[in-house]
Every structure is written in structure tokens, then in C-alpha cells.
Amino acid sequence: MRSYPIHHVDAFTCKPFEGNPTIVVFDAETLSESEMAKIAQEMNLSETVFVLPSFSGDFRLRYFTRTGDEVKFCGHATVGALFAVAKAQKFGVTKPGTFQFTVQTNAGNLLMQINAQNIDVPLISYDLPVIDLVPSPYEHRELANSLGIAVDLMDRTKPVMLERTNNYLYFSTPSLKEMGQIVVDQKGAKEFAEKNRIVIFCALTPSAFDSQNQVHVRTFCPLVGIPEDPFTGSVQGAVAAYLFKHQMVDTQLGMIGSEQGHFLGRPGQVLIEIKKGPQFAAKLHARAIHLYSATLKLP
């Protein structure tokens, strides 16, 4: 019988049942790819993350969706994995302090950090994969028709943008009012996503429920079986790039507060640190909360 420690973590929040939940599976090197996919299907969360040894980093993370598909990178599952590392005192996190890691993902090796000055409530930080945000070939009306929403819910003064590292599509809405009126036709959205290989549709608006934040985000992921994600960490870097590119926030800001999940009753937030340089880059800072630990046993 094989045993695997698992942890349920709510990411991008400090409150139970808010933010985005994930399952973290440790010691996953003896699991086959098929078994990882089946475990993710059994857990039935948007993503389950598996922690494995790495030859090029301190450890490796692999991410599988509830449909059993593997994705290159997942933000909330990364937060969950690092939080669980601190909780389980893995990889040398055995006392208060700041711990740096190079973590292998299918989107490349990324620098990540656990600030565990208070080891019970660590701050998780990590560099996002390369942000490659370009104008998309899609017109607002074409996208609106595919999503089954009124084109007036989009801010047509701002273009539809494509982030090519992850194949995410971004569009802006005028305000929280229009943002709250979006109801995506999952069938039409999935057909568009399959035809154009779009993993996530991301709507954003430069206003927020919390006055300390600068942007509110909603994400729809029909290609991987997620009608709407409570909080998507992997979109946040390009959200900041979109805001900067179109001067929707003060471009002198070094940190942007982003929120998501309010329309699903699972509010969460993150700080996006802007890394100045010739190539736009970003780093996320997030909290999480641990709900339970268990042991998964397989033949």
C-alpha cells in the first residue's frame, strides 16, 4: 500500500471557504501521470498540485485539473503548495525565517519564497512565468458573441489582448456593474476556446469592492471544465501588464492590489509586484489558510 500526505488549502485568503481551494499531494514521485490525473478528477477541485523531486530545482510542481488535464502553471495551487510546505515543515522550513526556492514547473524554473517569520501565517511570494501580452486577432463583437454576452459589457476603447505564454485572452469591462452582469454561455465559449486554443478568458475592470485594490478580475475556463474560477493567480501578471499598457492605473505604482471571487461568494486578493526592466515582469504576494490534512492510500 502506497501512502501520500495531502493537504487542503484555501489560497489567496486568510479565511476558510474563501479564495480558491486546492489539494496538495506530497511524495508524488511514485505516482504515474495517469494516477495524478485520476486523483485530480477524484478531488474535483479546479486544480490539484503534486510535489515531486527535481533535477533542476529544489522541487517540482505539476498541476492537474478536475478533468484530468495537465496545465503548465497554476497560481492558486502554487500558493497552496508553498503554504503546505511550510505547514508540513518540508524542504528545510523548520523554524521561523525566510526561505528561497527554485521550483521546476512546466512553464520553466521559477523563483519562489516562503516568508515564515510567523510560521503559522506565512507570506507566499513567487515570480510569474514570462508575460507575453500582445493584441489579439479577435474583435470585441466576435468574442462577445462567442461568450454569449452583450458587447456593451465590454470596454471597446480597450483591445482584446492575448497572453501567449499560457494562451489566455483578456478584455476590459467599464465597471463592476458590467462585470457582475457577465453570464458566459459555456457551450459557445468552449467551442471558441477549442478552435483557438484559449485556456482562460479573463475579464478585468479598474475598480474594486475593496478600496485598497486597483482591479477586479473574473476568469472563465471552459476548455478545462471550469465554468468560472474563484481566483486565478496565473492571470494576474498579464492583468497588471494590461493595466499598465493602457494606462488604466498609475504607471508609477510598484504594487497593484487585485481581487477576484466576489461574484462567486469566495472573495480573495493578491498583491502584484511590478518588476521594472525592459521586459514587463511580475511577482505575486499572497496568503492562504490550511483546512485539513489527510493520507491518501493506493495499492
Report DSSP letters for 160-221, one per residue.
Answer: -EEETTTTEEEEE-SSHHHHHT----HHHHHHHHHHHT--EEEEEES--SSTT-SEEEEEEE
Q: What is the pLDDT of residue 201?
A: 98
Question: What domains are there in the chain, each with its CATH number?
Answer: 2-129+286-298 (3.10.310.10), 133-278 (3.10.310.10)
Its pTM stands at 0.94
Q: State the 10-residue block means of pLDDT for the chain, 299 residues long.
A: 97 97 98 98 96 97 95 95 96 96 96 92 94 97 98 98 96 98 98 97 98 98 93 96 96 95 98 89 97 97
- How far is residue 132's CA from residue 91's CA, in Å, rounded to a whole number? 32
User: What pLDDT score does 275 carry?
Assistant: 87
